[in-house]
């Protein structure tokens, strides 16, 4: 799965994107966030307030309890405001 990072997440994690292969027990966005946090202190800090992070699976905005399924791309980004 390819993960894309936007805005301050990109800056804090010092990466634009990456390919990951989570274990089979990681089935939801929230579980993926947990798994990433367990393996990298930068993720743990970035994901500490999950209300500040929105997600999209294959370009569709989803909640953190959404199953990953066979999604090819997951994006993490801060909430957006209009103007």
Residue 25: is it exposed, middle or buried by C-beta count within 10 angstroms (0-12/13-18/19+)? exposed
Q: What CA–CA distance (Å, rounded) separates 32 from 64? A: 9
Overall CATH class of domain 2-77: alpha beta
pLDDT at 45: 93
Write the pLDDT tens digit of every residue in 13-52.
Answer: 999 999 999 999 999 999 999 999 998 999 999 999 999 9
Model confidence at 79, in pLDDT bands (50, 70, 90)? confident
Domain ranges of the chain: 2-77
Q: How many CB atoms lie within 10 A of CB 28?
A: 16
Q: Is the pLDDT of residue 67 over 90?
A: yes
pLDDT at 54: 96
């Amino acid at each position: 799965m390819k993960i894309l990072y936007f805005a301050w997440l990109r800056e804090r994690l010092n990466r634009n994107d990456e390919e990951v292969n989570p274990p089979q027990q990681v089935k939801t966005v929230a579980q993926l966030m947990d798994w990433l946090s367990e393996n990298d202190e930068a993720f743990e800090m970035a994901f500490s307030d999950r209300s500040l992070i929105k997600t999209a699976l294959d370009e569709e905005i989803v909640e953190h309890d959404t199953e990953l399924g066979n999604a090819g791309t997951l994006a993490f980004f801060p909430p957006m405001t209009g103007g």
